[in-house]
């Protein structure tokens, strides 16, 4: 093992306990206002905003700092249409044959179905790929570690960044997503992880009336 670790001073910005408390409450409240949206407006969103949100996601921690993610942003209507067609084909199989009764029951409060108009409505679709391994100069594969965990954290940060700038999104995952490699010309080591339509909500958008578990149900201190 070659030791190539180099270190530099860590610049820590300490907050007062009052600032800490106030920021903690404000941030939790802000995140609780986030909702997954399924009806979007076609109102344009500047590309620079999407770039900054992805830059925020790119700060996520990752296994061995290998940053095993790729964000493909689609603004082209024809590409969006292809993704919608392939997504809806997959969803018709899911809702029509593949999904077990129990799964459909769990989904019923959300009122979802095979129609995925949002894939064409939003100005941008961000398709996140998990990069399972890299190829080095000699064509040798270089393994990536904790890929799902790393990409999951980055996507969480991306959704947070999108919400923070005042836009809406939907973490969307059709059951099988390899069609995205074909449509977007991505190599096989990149595995589709999630599709995130981003934009303004439709003026008449509605959200399911569902609740979030209160703190006591999700937390335990020992």
Residues that bind ligand IYR (CB under 6 A): 91, 94, 107, 110, 112, 172-174
Return the number of the residue (107 or 153) whose C-beta is nearest ligand IYR: 107
CA–CA dist 146, 66 (Å, integer): 10
Is the CB of 172 or the CB of 200 nearer to ligand IYR? 172
- Closest contact distance (angstroms) between CB of 72 and ligand IYR is 19
C-beta of 62: minimal distance to ligand IYR in Å? 24
Which residue's CB is nearer to ligand IYR, number 79 or number 107? 107
Alpha helix ranges (H) inside 58-193: 77-93, 101-107, 118-121, 147-164, 179-184
Kindly tell me which of 71 and 94 has the beta carbon lying closer to ligand IYR: 94
Residue 127 CB partners (closer than 8 Å, separation 6+):
71, 72, 73, 74, 83, 180, 184, 192, 194, 195, 196
Strand positions, DSSP E, 31-88 = 69-74
131, 189 Cβ separation under 8 angstroms: yes
Closest approach, Cβ 3 to ligand IYR, in A, equals 44
* Rounded least distance, CB 167 to ligand IYR, Å: 20
Output 68 or 169, the one with its CB closest to ligand IYR: 169
Instruction: With CA atoms as reference, report the closest residue to 177 among 168, 190, 165.
Output: 190
Which residues neighbour 152 within 8 Å (Cβ) at sequence distance 6 or greater? none
User: What is the number of other CB atoms lying within 10 angstroms of the CB of residue 3?
Assistant: 5
Q: How far is the CB of 91 from ligand IYR (least distance, A)?
A: 5
């Amino acid at each position: 093992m070659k030791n190539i670790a180099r270190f530099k001073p860590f610049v820590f910005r300490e907050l007062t306990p009052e600032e800490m408390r106030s920021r903690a409450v404000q941030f939790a409240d802000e995140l609780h206002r986030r909702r997954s949206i399924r009806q979007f407006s076609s109102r344009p969103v500047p590309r620079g905003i999407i770039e900054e949100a992805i830059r925020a996601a790119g700060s996520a921690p990752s296994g061995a700092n290998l940053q095993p993610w790729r964000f493909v942003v689609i603004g082209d209507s024809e590409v969006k249409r292809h993704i919608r067609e392939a997504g809806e084909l997959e969803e018709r199989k899911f809702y029509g044959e593949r999904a077990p009764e129990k799964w459909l029951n769990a989904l019923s409060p959300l009122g979802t179905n095979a129609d995925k108009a949002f894939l064409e409505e939003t100005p941008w679709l961000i398709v996140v790929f998990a990069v399972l391994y890299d190829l080095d100069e000699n064509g040798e594969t270089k393994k990536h570690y904790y890929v799902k965990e790393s990409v999951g954290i980055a996507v969480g940060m991306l959704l947070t960044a999108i919400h923070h700038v005042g836009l809406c999104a939907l973490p969307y995952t059709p059951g099988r997503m390899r069609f995205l490699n074909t449509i977007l010309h991505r190599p096989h080591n990149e595995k589709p992880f999630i599709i995130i339509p981003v934009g303004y909500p439709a003026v008449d958008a509605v959200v399911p009336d569902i609740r979030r578990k209160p703190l006591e149900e999700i937390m335990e201190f020992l």
